[in-house]
């Protein structure tokens, strides 16, 4: 009988379409499913994201009939400890291509390869299989071997590359080790959610939400996706963030099992959004420093405001008290729900950088604290797109006009009315800046580089 295997869950909190599960159960091996609550990640995640994580773990534990072993600690300590405890012959997990994930996995692999500092006996391999993306970061490159820096050519190559079909996996195929039989010193109960999660977490909820969108929202997605006043977005981003569903599963519902070729505008528009998710992960993979620094270092010297007055403007932006209704509506939606429509994310980000002249990473950090779906690759590079310091070829002169955006994307004022009910009364503040003047100032600052 083969030695048991550890199945280490991370960004893939589900059972279906889970390649590491298929690999771990090969040769009839018994499997110990585990999750490591890393205090570093708990400290860096906002309360809503933690709530969604903990709820996802509870649903995963239910799917495993209560046999998910959860420990708290540093993975490079806890994973080797579990390996020794159960005599595991291998550890299986999905690849996490984020800078933090790669550093963590390198530390775990080193600890497994050299147990207790001994370079000889009992080496165990960390097998990384698959990724949270349709096309794993680093796989697509230009003909000269360089990574892509522009989305459109990346998108063409991404489509030509294609992806695998979903893996047929279920908990029934595994002989699962009972965690009650494992003496794990770091074992903990799944923590209670620090706040009520704004949406139901877990694999079943992800599947239900996706099927509802495919059935009722996909047909008009291309036309309505930029309208925050409509319930036109899929709301799948948090499920993708935590791996409650894999995008492979979603693409099959968009186009069927073959190569994408549907003439459905909605399906095509949605596929493009999934491609952007892959692209930003690829950018971060190749330029990990772009998580907190300008991807385009030519903008490092741009003049930014960081004094006490700037902090006051930042506080007004966070509170949704800028005097620009669509900006304020988005910031209030974020504060109350942990979600913001993508069109409004672009506007609020542009406003912070181009109208208030504040560092983009102030806003990016606030978003990561508040968003349920806060993802380092998509969030940071979305902010740099708005700031004009990212991979866009000619970005600096793009300055969103809040009034124009409101007329175009909230034409009846319903979104603003929902989140800024006092708009139009003397209780609503005057604009904290003059948009036209600040637009000219932003262009002056960018043009001076």
- Predicted local distance difference test score (pLDDT) of residue 119: 47
User: Domain spanning 133-166+203-286: which CATH class is it, in words?
Assistant: mainly alpha
- Predicted local distance difference test score (pLDDT) of residue 396: 67
List C-alpha distances in Å: 414 to 191, 203, 342. 38, 32, 17
97: alpha, beta or left? (left if phi > 0; alpha if psi -120 to 50): alpha
Question: Is 373 annotated in some ligand binding site?
Answer: yes
Question: Is 136 annotated in some ligand binding site?
Answer: no
3-state helix/strand/coil string of 23-70:
HHCHHHCEEEEEEEECHHHHHHCCHHHHHHHHHHHHHHHHHCCCCCEE
Question: Is 269 annotated in some ligand binding site?
Answer: no
- Predicted local distance difference test score (pLDDT) of residue 120: 46
Question: Is 235 annotated in some ligand binding site?
Answer: yes
Q: Is residue 212 within 8 Å of 113, Cβ to Cβ?
A: no
Where residue 434 falls among pLDDT bands split at 50, 70, 90?
A: very high
List C-alpha distances in Å: 106 to 76, 87, 100, 324. 9, 21, 10, 47
Mean pLDDT to the nearest integer, 349-354: 97
Mean pLDDT to the nearest integer, 81-89: 93
- Predicted local distance difference test score (pLDDT) of residue 257: 59
**What pLDDT digit, counting tens, does each position of 173-232 carry?**
888 988 888 887 788 999 999 999 889 999 999 999 999 999 999 999 999 999 999 999
Question: Is 312 annotated in some ligand binding site?
Answer: no
Where residue 449 falls among pLDDT bands split at 50, 70, 90?
A: low
Question: Is 184 annotated in some ligand binding site?
Answer: no
Q: Is residue 189 within 8 Å of 57, Cβ to Cβ?
A: no
H or E, element range at 93: strand 90-93
In sequence order, what DSSP letters do the residues of 318-376 get, joined into one string?
A: HHT-SS-HHHHHHHHHHHHHS---HHHHHHHHHIIIIIS---HHHHHHHHHHH-TT--H
Nearest to 342 by CA among 295, 388, 400, 262: 400
Where residue 394 falls among pLDDT bands split at 50, 70, 90?
A: low
Superfamily of domain 297-447: DNA Cyclobutane Dipyrimidine Photolyase, subunit A, domain 3 (1.10.579.10)
User: Which CATH architecture does the domain made up of 5-130 adopt?
Assistant: 3-Layer(aba) Sandwich (3.40)
Question: Is 236 annotated in some ligand binding site?
Answer: yes
Query: How high is the mean pLDDT of the chain?
Result: 93
Question: Is 270 annotated in some ligand binding site?
Answer: yes
Where residue 380 falls among pLDDT bands split at 50, 70, 90?
A: very high
Q: Is residue 125 within 8 Å of 112, Cβ to Cβ?
A: yes
What is the C-alpha end-to-end distance of the chain, expressed in Å?
66
The helix-helix angle for 360-370 and 308-319 (nearest 10°) equals 40
Which of 174-178, 266-270, 401-405, 407-411 is least confident?
A: 174-178
Nearest to 392 by CA among 446, 321, 336: 446
Question: Is 279 annotated in some ligand binding site?
Answer: yes
Number of residues that make up the chain: 449
Where residue 260 falls among pLDDT bands split at 50, 70, 90?
A: low
Question: Is 248 annotated in some ligand binding site?
Answer: no
Is residue 125 classed as helix, strand or coil in its secondary structure?
A: strand
- Predicted local distance difference test score (pLDDT) of residue 122: 66
**Residue 183, number of CB atoms within 10 A of its CB:** 8
Question: Is 276 annotated in some ligand binding site?
Answer: yes
Q: Per-domain residue ranges for the chain?
A: 5-130, 133-166+203-286, 297-447
Question: Is 351 annotated in some ligand binding site?
Answer: no
**What pLDDT digit, counting tens, does each position of 334-346 carry?**
999 999 999 999 9
Q: Is the pLDDT of residue 392 over 90?
A: no
């Amino acid at each position: 009988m083969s030695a048991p295997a550890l199945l280490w869950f991370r960004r893939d909190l589900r059972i279906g379409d889970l390649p590491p599960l298929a690999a771990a159960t090969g040769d009839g091996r018994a499997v110990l499913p585990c999750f490591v609550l890393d205090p570093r990640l708990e400290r860096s995640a906002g309360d809503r994201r933690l709530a969604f994580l903990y709820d996802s773990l509870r649903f995963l534990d239910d799917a495993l009939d209560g046999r998910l072993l959860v420990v708290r600690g540093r993975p490079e300590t806890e994973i080797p400890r579990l390996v020794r405890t159960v005599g595991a012959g291998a550890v299986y997990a999905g690849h996490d291509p984020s800078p933090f994930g790669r550093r963590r996995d390198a530390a775990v692999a080193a600890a497994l390869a050299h147990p207790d500092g001994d370079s000889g006996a009992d080496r165990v391999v960390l097998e990384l299989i698959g990724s949270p993306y349709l096309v794993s970061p680093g796989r697509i490159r230009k003909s000269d071997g360089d990574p892509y820096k522009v989305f459109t050519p990346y998108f063409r190559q991404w489509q030509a590359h294609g992806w695998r079909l979903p893996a047929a996996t279920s908990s029934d195929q595994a002989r699962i080790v009972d965690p009650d039989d494992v003496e794990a010193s770091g074992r903990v109960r799944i923590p209670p959610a620090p706040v009520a999660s704004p949406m139901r977490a877990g694999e079943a909820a992800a599947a239900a939400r996706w099927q509802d969108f495919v059935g009722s929202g996909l047909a008009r997605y291309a036309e309505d996706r930029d309208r925050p006043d409509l319930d036109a977005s899929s709301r799948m981003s948090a499920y993708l963030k935590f791996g409650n569903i894999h995008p492979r599963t979603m693409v099959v519902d968009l186009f069927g099992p073959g190569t994408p070729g549907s003439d459905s505008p909605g399906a095509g528009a949605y596929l493009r959004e999934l491609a952007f998710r892959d692209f930003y992960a690829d950018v971060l993979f190749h330029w990990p420093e772009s998580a907190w620094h300008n991807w385009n270092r030519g903008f490092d010297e741009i003049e930014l405001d960081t004094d006490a007055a700037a902090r006051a403007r930042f506080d007004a932006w966070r509170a949704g008290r800028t005097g620009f209704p669509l900006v304020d509506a988005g910031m209030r939606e974020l504060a109350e729900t942990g979600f913001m429509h993508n069109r409004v994310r672009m506007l609020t980000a542009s406003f912070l950088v181009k109208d208030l002249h504040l560092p983009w990473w102030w806003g990016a950090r606030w978003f990561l604290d508040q968003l349920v779906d806060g993802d380092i690759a998509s969030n940071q590079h979305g902010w740099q797109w708005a700031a004009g310091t990212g991979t866009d070829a000619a970005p600096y002169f793009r300055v969103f006009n809040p009034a124009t955006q409101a007329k175009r994307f909230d034409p009846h004022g319903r979104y603003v009315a929902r989140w800024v009910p006092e708009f139009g009364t003397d209780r609503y503040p005057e604009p904290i800046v003059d948009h036209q003047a600040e637009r000219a100032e932003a262009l002056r600052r960018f043009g001076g580089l």
